[in-house]
Amino acid sequence: MNAFRYDTIKKNTKKYTNKDRAFRALLGGIGTGNISLDGDGRLCDFEIMNHPDKKLKIPYTFFSLWCREEGKDSRAFVLEAEPGGLSEKALGYPTGELYGLPRMDSCEIETNYPFFKYNFKREGLPLKITMEAYTPFIPLDEKNSGIPGYSVEYCIENMSDRPAEVSVCSSMYNFTGFTSYDGYDRLCVDGMPENDVLQGEGYTGVLFRNRGADPEAVNYGTLALACTGKNITLKPCWQAGGWWDGAEEFWQDFREDGKLNADVATDAVGSNIGSADVPKVVGSVCSTETIRPGECAHFTFYFTWSFPNRYGWWPDGHAREEDKPQHDKIWKNYYSTVWKDAPDALKYMFENAEELKGRSRDFSNALYSTTLDADVIESLVSAITVLRSNTCFRIGDGRFFAWEGCFEHAGSCAGTCTHVWNYAQALAFLFPYLEISARKTEFLQETDEEGNMAFRAKRLLDGSKWEMLPATDGQLGSILRVYREWKMTGDDSFLREVWDKVVSAMEFSLRTWDSDGDFVLDDQQHNTYDIEFYGLNSLTNSILYAALAACSSMAEYLGETKRASRYRKAWEEGSRRMDELLWNGEWYEQKISPEDLNRYKYQYGTGCLADQLLGQELAHVCGLGYILPEEHVKSAVHSIYRHNFLRSMKDHESVQRTYAYQDEAGLILCSWPRGGRPKQPFVYSDEVWTGIEYQVAAHLIYEGYIEEGMDIVHAVRGRYDGSRRSPYNEIECGNHYTRSMAAWGLLTALSGYKFDMVKKEISFAPLVSQEDFSCFYSNGSSWGIYRQNVMENGELSYEVIPLYGDMDGVAVNPRS
């Protein structure tokens, strides 16, 4: 582990409490699914069975605490804060949630991603109880950031003046083979769930499996729960009686002495009414320690899973009747090719615990040991969470795919959609080779011989091409992302592998969308608003010029000087002409005739479009500089802030989807300060999308409008503050929406970070706290901390501290 002292920098964290009812902390790796912890410390949202499952609760799945001070009576609690905001249910709250048992009074949560720390309090209990949960997260290390499981560690300090015996117990319901709930809130499963003792070298626990399940089914899987330590007791399976016999027997057993009896008696005589419940296949593992006054004991648990089989792109969460032949094909999850089952993954986590935790702690400390605003860091963490949600997955050979987001029980909008991934930056900076996987799919599989790229990747997983119009913004953005990935990694072989298809895609773009050959796109252009723009607009054209600049640079590098010159000429002439045609003195408009404005539905005309300079923002992130006149860019981006950013939505009129309301602030997608709103403007024009808010905020910062950019960031975090919405689930067309990963542009903008691993150069030019600045940095070779400060003599002192990988041969250049 690196010996750098993080305590030399103030950590910039935010805290939440159990009063933040919407809080959710996702646990799980990239492409593994996830389980969440809510603001009470309760496990919820069990989304590990190959599709989203928001609000899925698994009964009898909880942590519990037993304690007995010397000379006093014992006490027992569920290790969760008291639930707030409960509402009546027709059957009351089911036994599986155990709301009738004593709990903690409250808890406070501190995020140091990927670590979530819960501090529990209970009046009259002389114990300081801290729980820390995490799944390993190590940028550039795809394997160890894709472990299907998590670790939970309780640190319990005895605050009394006498010894205390303390037990912590973890219980888990065997939900392998889960299909649904019945009308009585009881789990229905396929097959025959079965629990066995799990014994490892240094840990003991319970293996949950299903003897009768189809091994090729998507709900087939194994679970593993274990605890470390010497004083371990087990109850591999609760009593399988009627009603809630199992819960009653477990609690009385645990309540008695804080230990578990594995032998469970079953009464021979039942009740005339028969069982009102199904047998419960619940297992528990318990650890016990005697803690002296003022000392602390640690209780560490591991939970892992393996549900190896998945469908590719399933419509509405299941196969339509007519689609069954293609959707019945099963694909393996990549993680299941690395770890054969849940016990194998748990063994790996345990045996490599020190390194996994240490590397993850390095990342956490690098991210939070910063002079950047806490709201910026929370935005970055929310972006990372998308990667760990069901939005993203990997198939058996490691290839990466993603939905646009997740509905409650199904993926939202299949195909690693190019025009949505235009905005996403987080994955490229953290795991660039997963982005390269997506680029190879886009160009080598989804781009035909004419250069037409399908904007949804369907060929492999569905066996057919997406047949809609190509997306102008998505296709050009994919070209630009090839340049970003190449510069991020310095991987020439990747560039050479896709280059012919990149050229083909660019030629198709110029041939198809530029009707008169003046390098200003003017034909029908499908785009990320799920409609077509007609005439001239700066959204697609700005991406065109960034892509042309990138192609010119790549062609020059590959020795294709004529092509490089041609693309540079197209960029320079087209950019100049677009500026002449669309600039209105304040921002860039759409050029469309008054007749066509309302003849074609869903245009914006004279409107101030929030995305009007998306291509310029992407060019800044990629280090391409200005692709349009700087003074016009600055004016236009500030116009977006001035006209589209609303500090309150109370007077905003919209019949579209609502993502910000009442007293909340947000940036709307389009406004018409000079009038001219079409009768039917483009369909999302009045909405507020975090992905666009982040790209505009980052662009404002790039142009020097730091306060304005931060206004937008604070507005997003104000909406996602844990009370109304989870801070780690930014929604658009689904939960954990891909576009929100535009937030990573805030880091590159504020730090002035530029990367060129082809030339082996990186540079920084912070726009805030220049005299004492620090932040996280990453590229395809390393990640760590950049620090700079101005010394008393006025000279700049700076250092790059790599915490993973190396910086051998890489030059670091601070810029003013």
For the segment 428-450, what is each residue's pLDDT rounded down to a tens digit?
999 999 999 999 999 999 999 99
Tokens 């600045």 belong to: 773
Instruction: Give the whole-number percent of the chain exceeding pLDDT 70.
Output: 94
Return the amino acid letter for 163: P
Alpha carbon separation from 582 to 216, 567, 579, 640 (Å, rounded): 57, 22, 6, 15
Q: Is the pLDDT of residue 318 over 50?
A: no
Q: Average per-residue pLDDT in the chain? A: 94
- The confidence score (pLDDT) of residue 379 equals 98
Q: In this predicted model, which residue has the larger pLDDT, 556 or 280?
A: 556
Question: Six-digit token pair at 385?
Answer: 């969470």
Tokens 């880091």 belong to: 747
**Cα–Cα distance, 537 to 143 (Å, whole number):** 43
Name the band, by pLDDT with cuts 50, 70 and 90, for residue 598.
confident
Nearest to 287 by CA among 161, 417, 155: 155
- The confidence score (pLDDT) of residue 280 equals 63
- The confidence score (pLDDT) of residue 228 equals 97
Nearest to 444 by CA among 497, 503, 491, 399: 497
Name the band, by pLDDT with cuts 50, 70 and 90, for residue 181.
confident
Q: Is the pLDDT of residue 317 over 50?
A: no
SS3 letters for 140-176? CCCCCCCCCEEEEEEEEEECCCCCEEEEEEEEEECCC
Q: Is the pLDDT of residue 681 over 70?
A: yes
Q: In this predicted model, which residue has the larger pLDDT, 271 or 744?
A: 744
Alpha carbon separation from 723 to 79, 134, 224, 383 (Å, rounded): 22, 22, 33, 19
Cα 616 → chain centroid: 25
Give per-residue burial for 452-465: e unless 16+ CB within 10 Å, then b.
Answer: bbbbbbbeebbeee
Q: Is the pLDDT of residue 592 over 90?
A: yes
**Rg value, the chain, Cα:** 28
Find the mean pLDDT for residues 459-473: 91
Alpha carbon separation from 713 to 49, 232, 650 (Å, rounded): 34, 48, 20
**Cα–Cα distance, 616 to 571 (Å, whole number):** 13
Question: Six-digit token pair at 115?
Answer: 């670590």
DSSP 651: T
φ, ψ of residue 216 to 5 degrees: the values are -100, 0
Question: Six-digit token pair at 337?
Answer: 């090719």
Q: Is 125 within 8 Å of 133 (Cβ atoms)?
A: no
6-355 against 372-751: fold identical: no
- The confidence score (pLDDT) of residue 324 equals 43
Q: Give 795's contacts (C-beta < 8 A, 6+ positions apart).
A: none
SS3 letters for 767-798? CCCCCEEEEEEECCCEEEEEEEEECCCCCEEE
Angle at 79 between CA 78 and CA 81, to 5 degrees: 95
SS3 letters for 541-568? HHHHHHHHHHHHHHHHHCCCHHHHHHHH
Question: Six-digit token pair at 753?
Answer: 């970070």
Return the amino acid letter for 118: Y
**Cα–Cα distance, 97 to 400 (Å, whole number):** 36
Please state whether beta strands 75-81 and 103-104 pair in parallel, antiparallel, or not at all (unpaired): parallel
**Cα–Cα distance, 180 to 213 (Å, whole number):** 15
- Is residue 324 within a helix (H) or strand (E), and if so which, with residue range? helix 324-327
CATH code assigned to 6-355: 2.70.98
Any idea where the domains of the chain sit in the sequence? 6-355, 372-751, 761-814
* CATH architecture classification, 372-751: Alpha/alpha barrel (1.50)
Burial class (CB in 10 A: 0-12, 13-18, 19+), 749: buried
Question: Six-digit token pair at 181?
Answer: 């709930």
- The confidence score (pLDDT) of residue 816 equals 66
- The confidence score (pLDDT) of residue 375 equals 97
- The string of pLDDT tens digits covering residues 17-69 is 999 999 999 999 999 999 999 999 999 999 999 999 999 999 999 999 999 99
Find the mean pLDDT for residues 394-406: 98
Q: Is 297 within 8 Å of 156 (Cβ atoms)?
A: yes
Collapse the DSSP code of 92 into the 3-class scheme (helix H, G, I; strand E, B; otherwise coil) and give the result.
Answer: strand
Please state whether beta strands 811-814 and 761-764 pair in parallel, antiparallel, or not at all (unpaired): parallel
Q: Is the pLDDT of residue 145 over 80?
A: yes
Residue 309 bridge partners (DSSP): 332
DSSP 723: S
Q: Is the pLDDT of residue 588 over 60?
A: yes
Q: Is the pLDDT of residue 5 over 70?
A: no
Collapse the DSSP code of 766 into the 3-class scheme (helix H, G, I; strand E, B; otherwise coil) and give the result.
Answer: coil
Collapse the DSSP code of 212 into the 3-class scheme (helix H, G, I; strand E, B; otherwise coil) and give the result.
Answer: coil
**Cα–Cα distance, 20 to 312 (Å, whole number):** 35
φ, ψ of residue 481 to 5 degrees: the values are -70, -25
Q: Is 795 within 8 Å of 746 (Cβ atoms)?
A: no
Q: Is the pLDDT of residue 536 over 80?
A: yes
DSSP 388: H
- The confidence score (pLDDT) of residue 90 equals 80
Q: Is the pLDDT of residue 84 over 80?
A: no
- The string of pLDDT tens digits covering residues 690-716 is 999 999 999 999 999 999 999 999 999
Angle at 723 between CA 722 and CA 724, to 5 degrees: 100
Q: Is 788 within 8 Å of 410 (Cβ atoms)?
A: no
Nearest to 806 by CA among 760, 752, 751: 760
Nearest to 202 by CA among 394, 323, 354, 78: 354
Q: Is the pLDDT of residue 400 over 80?
A: yes
Question: Six-digit token pair at 156?
Answer: 């319990």
Predicted TM-score (pTM) of the model is: 0.95
Nearest to 171 by CA among 105, 49, 80, 266: 80
Name the band, by pLDDT with cuts 50, 70 and 90, for residue 87.
low
Name the band, by pLDDT with cuts 50, 70 and 90, for residue 270.
low
Residue 78 bridge partners (DSSP): 64, 103
